[in-house]
């Protein structure tokens, strides 16, 4: 099997310092966490940004400041901004990170609408997905296709046939999200067997499902996502002190499977990025 790409989702939009005091909010904190994750073995930073008080934002100026700080500390990193933002944000708000300078190499593209529990609905209509894909295509940005269930893969394949999405495609399967597929080996194998040959895929799991799902992805030849956005614990009852501890744990798991860790340069080659 080829080398493993590790993505660190370092802060997300929902987890707070009340959950884990090490969740980064400020520009400096985000830069430090990204650097630590890189030194531990991550080649991609999945990036949400926050105001200093922890409020999630998609403001271009804030994204630019955070990306600048990350690149100052770790210039080789691939920065993967989220266009998901937070529940209730408009499409215009969510698209702002695509306009940072230089243009991002990748960005997330959510492939369907999700019930996130209670009255929370994460809305991604077909027209929203198409408009986001068109913007990414026009700017030469490779989408990471965020899929939370099999129907989102079917949407992806339908839009690929209509040429809104280009091959080879890169999928990110998030398992155990409320409203999405349960984090089970059977479900992950179903998803992996549903994507076209030549595609790459990454897997993340929520909470206690993070490392079991990542381990299965590694065994199947996929890639790994960990980080405070998805899970704040290094093991049951033990809060992680940094995203880097979660990355280091994946490195150890990967070594047990005999897979080396991809550098950012190698990750670009694997994913077919221009750089």
125: containing domain: 6-271
Distance between CA atoms of 22 and 10, rounded to whole angstroms? 10
In a domain, 156, yes or no: yes
Overall average pLDDT of the 128-138 stretch? 98
227: domain CATH number is 3.20.20.70
In a domain, 1, yes or no: no
In percent, the amount of the chain with pLDDT more than 90 equals 96
pLDDT digits (tens, 9 = 90+) for 34-84: 999 999 999 999 999 999 999 999 999 999 999 999 999 999 999 999 999
Number of domains in the chain: 1
Distance between CA atoms of 225 and 6, rounded to whole angstroms? 6
In a domain, 37, yes or no: yes
Q: What is the pLDDT of residue 116?
A: 86
In a domain, 90, yes or no: yes
Q: Are 240 and 212 in contact (CB under 8 A)?
A: no
Q: Are 224 and 231 in contact (CB under 8 A)?
A: no
């Amino acid at each position: 099997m080829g080398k493993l790409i590790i993505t660190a989702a370092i802060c997300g939009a929902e987890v707070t310092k009340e959950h884990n005091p090490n969740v980064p909010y400020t520009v400096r904190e985000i830069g430090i966490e990204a650097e630590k994750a890189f030194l531990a073995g991550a080649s991609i930073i999945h990036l949400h940004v926050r105001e200093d008080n922890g409020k999630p934002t998609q403001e271009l100026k804030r994204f630019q400041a955070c990306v600048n700080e990350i690149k100052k500390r770790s210039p080789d990193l691939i920065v993967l901004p989220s266009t998901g933002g937070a529940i209730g944000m408009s499409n215009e708000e969510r698209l702002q990170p695509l306009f940072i300078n230089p243009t991002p190499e990748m960005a997330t593209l959510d492939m369907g609408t999700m019930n996130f529990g209670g009255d929370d609905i994460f809305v991604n209509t077909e027209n929203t997905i198409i408009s986001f894909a068109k913007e990414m295509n026009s700017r030469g940005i490779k989408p990471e296709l965020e899929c939370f269930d099999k129907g989102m893969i079917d949407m992806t394949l339908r839009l690929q046939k209509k040429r809104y999405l280009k091959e080879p495609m890169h999928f990110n399967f998030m398992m155990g999200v409320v409203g999405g597929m349960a984090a089970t080996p059977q479900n992950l194998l179903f998803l992996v067997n549903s994507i076209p040959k030549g595609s790459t895929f990454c897997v993340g799991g929520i909470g206690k499902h993070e490392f079991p799902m990542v381990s299965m992805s590694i065994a199947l030849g996929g890639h790994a996502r960990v980080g405070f956005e998805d899970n704040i614990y290094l093991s049951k009852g033990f809060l992680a002190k940094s995203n880097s501890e979660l990355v280091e744990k994946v490195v150890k798991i990967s070594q047990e499977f005999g897979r080396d860790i991809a550098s950012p340069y190698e990750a670009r080659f694997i994913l077919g990025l221009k750089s």
